[in-house]
Amino acid sequence: MFMSAPEQEIQMVLTFTLLGLMGSKVRMILLIGLMKIVRGDHMRVLFKRYSSKDKESGFTLIEIILVVLLLSVIVGSVVPDLRKNYRKVCLQNAARNIAYSMRYAQSRAITSGDLVRLELAPESGSYRLTERKEDAIDRDDATFVRIPNRMGNVFRIPDKLKFESGDLTILFYPDGSMEKQAVKLCGEAGCLLISTREQRGHVNVLEFDK
């Protein structure tokens, strides 16, 4: 299996980082184990010898190369798992952020005594919170304005993720209730469902099969 340039860079960085962190005893153990695997128990390894005045024994170039090759194989098998885990973490973080915005909307609706709305824009992968103007009666777009703090900003999910919802808005009421809706968030690592359907007044993040 061939790796792309970024994958090779990651492999080399991890390889030399691991090598640098290892002490001389650990490197010696790895080297001896590698020699036994490659040539058998009867292989005689020639170590570079120093005089008795030297405090530490050194390693030959071939020994270092063999250790690096061994670590390269190990790191090469780990990189795909790291990439998969990274995608999963990105998906989970994006789902948690949407759920947090929903919970904040619920809390603000209770404290302000008015409607708060989560607005979804699947085409651009963005969402934001708005609230109904004071003394407004209608529930159309003209009566909702941006929440005047950081939570009123437009938030975007990572480029490789997509979400969809039955409705493009979810309303949160002063009594703590909310419209029963679900936002499906999908990526290469799978799908998660941010839902208000399961339990009244609660936001849940659930696994969802594609």
CB 18 within 8 A of CB 71: yes
Sequence spans of domains, the chain? 5-83, 88-208
Q: Has this prediction a pTM greater than 0.85? A: no
CATH fold of 88-208: minor pseudopilin epsh fold (3.55.40)
Residues 6 or more apart from 46 whose CB is under 8 A from it?
60
Q: What are phi and psi of 118, to 5 degrees?
A: -95, 125
pLDDT (tens digit, 9 = 90+) per residue, 176-193?
Answer: 999 999 999 999 989 999
The single-letter DSSP state of residue 1 is -
Predicted local distance difference test score (pLDDT) of residue 29: 53
Among 70-74, 75-79, 144-148, 183-187, the minimum mean pLDDT is found in 75-79
Residues 6 or more apart from 110 whose CB is under 8 A from it?
174, 175, 176
Predicted local distance difference test score (pLDDT) of residue 137: 59
